[in-house]
């Protein structure tokens, strides 16, 4: 089994990029689309263990190297959010957080989604300009 960190970040970046427009629309349809996108993200992240799929995703780096650089820069966000949900749930149970504390932490995670993408893209832009 090989480490597919670039491919995992690429899949996370694609999910982040596709889900952004639906964050601003609060309808039942947008929530359904977000759930389907998240399910597709989880399935594709698990499919990275299949060599063929990993190679298919890896070809994206060869065909579109510049786009892949920016997509990978935002790929960390869904993984941090998934890990964060489990950590928050564990801390809420162990430390017996109140509902107000859990709501404040949820606001921090929503800010991570709103601010993480532009800040990551700006950082990637300047890193690319400095490396050339």
Give tens-digit pLDDT for 78-114: 998 888 888 888 888 898 888 888 888 888 877 887 7
Confirm if 88 and 105 have CB atoms less than 8 A apart.
Answer: yes
CA terminus-to-terminus distance, the chain? 33
Structural domains in the chain (count) = 1
- Per-residue pLDDT at 4: 67
- Per-residue pLDDT at 59: 87
Cβ-Cβ contacts under 8 Å for 82 (sequence gap 6 or more)? none
In the structure, what pLDDT confidence band is assigned to residue 13 with cuts at 50, 70 and 90? Answer: very high
Structure tokens at 106: 């949820």
- Per-residue pLDDT at 3: 55
- Per-residue pLDDT at 111: 83
**What range defines the domain where residue 93 resides?**
5-131
Task: Match 């149970």 to its residue by tokens.
Answer: 93
Question: Is it the case that residue 53 has pLDDT exceeding 60?
Answer: yes
């Amino acid at each position: 089994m090989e480490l597919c960190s670039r491919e995992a970040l690429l899949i996370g970046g694609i999910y982040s990029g596709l889900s952004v427009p639906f964050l601003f629309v609060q309808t039942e349809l947008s929530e359904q689309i977000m759930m389907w996108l998240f399910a597709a993200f989880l399935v594709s992240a698990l499919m990275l263990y299949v060599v063929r799929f990993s190679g298919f995703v890896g070809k994206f780096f060869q065909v579109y190297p510049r786009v892949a650089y920016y997509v990978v820069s935002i790929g960390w966000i869904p993984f941090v959010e998934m890990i964060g949900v489990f950590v928050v749930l564990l801390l809420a149970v162990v430390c017996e957080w109140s509902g107000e504390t859990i709501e404040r932490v949820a606001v921090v995670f929503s800010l991570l989604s709103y601010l993480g993408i532009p800040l990551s893209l700006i950082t990637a832009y300047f890193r690319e300009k400095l490396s050339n």
